[in-house]
């Protein structure tokens, strides 16, 4: 780029020279990916092809989360009369305390884990959309750990349990308002192999 000025002070001239440098870099920097406005799913640029997007994906939540359960046992987890069928714990606003209505479910899962020491359970923590995103990841983790501790008290061992918090990033229900929020403040039970 050539630059000519007249009646311009030094500072402007310097600014223009720096612009020149930026243009030269843009032209030689090989940053085609960032300039052509196209989605480029180049090798290594695409993330996992996971299908488990909770309820949004259309995948049945009753199936997701039971991969680690012996097929013969799965009916216990889908029978609505069995406390093991409760595999989502919902929380009050700004709280990681497990509401008492879930204590039967916690006991049942704790007992199942103690009787099946090879089974592993991942506790996925979630929040509603209020507040900042990374702070919500921490709040979701606190909820998952609260459930983890309760399960250990009910017989599970620490080695069977892990936590993963999504914060507000994977809402069960899209949208704003207490109806959606109350469904999003949750910990999901994911039995893995």
Partner 1 sequence: MKVTTPRSILFGTAALALSLLAIMPARAALQVDITESADGAVPIAISPFASSGQALPLDMAQVASDDLESTGLFDVLDRDSMVATPSDPDEVNYQNWRSASVDNLVVGSAEANGSGGYRIRFDLLDVYQGRSSSSFQLNAGGNELRDAAHTIANLVYEKFIGEKGYFLSRIAYITMAQESGGLRYRLIVSDYDGYNPATVYSSRDPIMSPAWSPDGSKLAYVAFDVDRGRSSLRVQDLASGNIREISAREGINGAPAWSPDGDALALTLSYRGSPDIYRYDLNTNQLTQLTNNGAIDTEATWSPDGQHIAFTSDRGGKPQVYRMRRDGSQVERMTYDGESNQRADFSPDGDKLAMVQKSGNGFRIAVQDLENNNIRIVSEGPLDDSPNFAPNGQAIMFAKQGRNNELATVTIDGETKTRLSQSGEVREPAWGPLGY
111-170: contacts with partner 1 (CB under 8 A): 122, 129-135, 137-139, 141-142, 162-167, 169-170
Q: Is residue 44 near partner 1 by the rule CB under 8 A? A: yes
Q: Using CB atoms within 10 A of its CB, is residue 164 exposed (0-12), middle (13-18) or buried (19+)?
A: middle
Question: Least distance in Å: CB of 70 to partner 1?
Answer: 20
On whether the CB atoms of residues 80 and 121 are closer than 8 A, the answer is no
Site for partner 1 in 63-102 (CB under 8 A): none
On whether the CB atoms of residues 170 and 53 are closer than 8 A, the answer is yes
Among 95, 104, 157, 176, which residue sits at the site for partner 1 (rule: CB under 8 A)? 176
Stretch that binds partner 1, among 43-51, 69-77, 109-117, 180-188 (CB under 8 A): 43-51
Among 33, 82, 104, 157, which residue sits at the site for partner 1 (rule: CB under 8 A)? 33
Question: Least distance in Å: CB of 85 to partner 1?
Answer: 22
Give 109-149 as a DSSP string: HHHHHHH-TT-EEEEEEE--S-S-HHHHHHHHHHHHHHHHH
Q: How far, rounded to the nearest angstrom, does the alpha carbon of residue 170 sit from its chain's CA centroid?
A: 5
């Amino acid at each position: 780029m050539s630059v000519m000025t007249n009646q311009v002070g030094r500072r402007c001239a310097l600014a223009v020279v720096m612009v020149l440098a930026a243009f030269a870099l843009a032209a030689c920097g090989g940053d085609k990916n960032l300039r052509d406005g196209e989605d480029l799913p180049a090798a290594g640029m695409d993330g996992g092809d996971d299908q488990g997007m909770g309820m949004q994906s259309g995948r049945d939540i009753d199936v997701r989360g039971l991969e680690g359960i012996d097929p013969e046992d799965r009916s216990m987890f889908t029978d609505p009369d069995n406390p093991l069928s409760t595999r989502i714990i919902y929380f009050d606003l700004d709280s990681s305390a497990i509401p008492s209505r879930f204590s039967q479910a916690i006991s049942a899962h704790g007992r199942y884990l103690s009787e099946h020491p090879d089974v592993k359970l991942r506790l996925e923590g979630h929040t509603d959309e209020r507040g900042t995103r990374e702070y919500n990841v921490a709040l979701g983790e606190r909820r998952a750990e609260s459930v983890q501790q309760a399960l250990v008290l009910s017989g599970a061992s620490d080695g069977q349990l892990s936590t993963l918090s999504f914060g507000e990033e994977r809402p069960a229900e899209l949208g704003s308002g207490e109806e959606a929020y109350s469904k999003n403040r949750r910990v999901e039970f994911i039995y893995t192999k």
